[in-house]
């Protein structure tokens, strides 16, 4: 989606970080890349191409309406582009504004909430779902397990 705004890009080891329609800078890209690679390795997946797009609420809302026909705001949307089951190839859109608001409401740091949302998208690419209460509980536990793998 072309917003006409300048886009920032930072790619490491098949993981790319883009910024669209929001003032945001990812300060720990190398550490995040290593962590996401550890999570993939633990699950016996290879990262072929993983793109994170950090954006505004409005940008993500437009994606939600256009591609998923959902007229709602959300913190993360994941698109799985993989043709096989043992690779990660996808796009993860994250609303920085929604993450910031959620962190404030939960009384946690912005970075902890951002990392939870980032790995939530990866877990979807690993095949985890969160459509009902049971799967949401399992997803939350997997998020916590993955967050414990951070070395920073």
CA distance 28 to 25: 9
pLDDT(4) > 60: no
Residue 7 has what pLDDT? 45
Q: Is position 92 within any domain? A: yes
Per the annotation, where are the binding residues?
A: 120, 124, 130
* Band of residue 152 on the pLDDT scale cut at 50, 70, 90: confident
What pLDDT, in 10s, does the model give residues 79-95?
Answer: 999 999 899 999 999 99
Per the annotation, where are the binding residues for Zn(2+)?
A: 120, 124, 130
Q: Is position 18 within any domain? A: yes
pTM: 0.90
Q: Is position 1 within any domain? A: no
Coil, helix or strand at residue 120? helix
> Who's near 73: CB < 8 A, 6+ residues apart?
57, 60, 61, 64, 95, 98
Q: Is position 96 within any domain? A: yes
In this structure, what is the dihedral angle of CA atoms 39, 44, 48, 50, given to the nearest 10 degrees? -30
| CATH code: domain of residue 38 | 3.40.390.30
Q: Which residue range is the domain that position 143 belongs to? A: 8-147
How many domains are there within the chain? 1
Q: Is position 70 within any domain? A: yes
């Amino acid at each position: 989606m072309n917003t006409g705004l300048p886009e920032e890009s930072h790619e490491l080891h098949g993981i790319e970080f883009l910024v669209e329609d929001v003032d945001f800078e990812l300060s720990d890209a190398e550490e995040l890349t290593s962590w996401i690679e550890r999570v993939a390795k633990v699950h016996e997946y290879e990262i072929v191409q993983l793109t994170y797009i950090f954006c505004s609420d409005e940008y993500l809302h437009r994606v939600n309406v256009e591609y998923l026909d959902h007229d709602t705001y959300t913190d993360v949307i994941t698109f799985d582009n993989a043709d096989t089951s043992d690779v990660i190839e996808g796009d993860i859109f994250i609303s920085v504004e929604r993450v910031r608001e959620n962190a404030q409401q939960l009384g946690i740091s912005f970075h902890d909430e951002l990392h939870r949302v980032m790995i939530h998208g990866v877990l979807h690419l690993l095949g985890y779902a969160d459509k009902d209460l049971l799967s949401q509980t399992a997803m939350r536990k997997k998020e916590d397990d993955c967050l414990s793998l951070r070395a920073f």
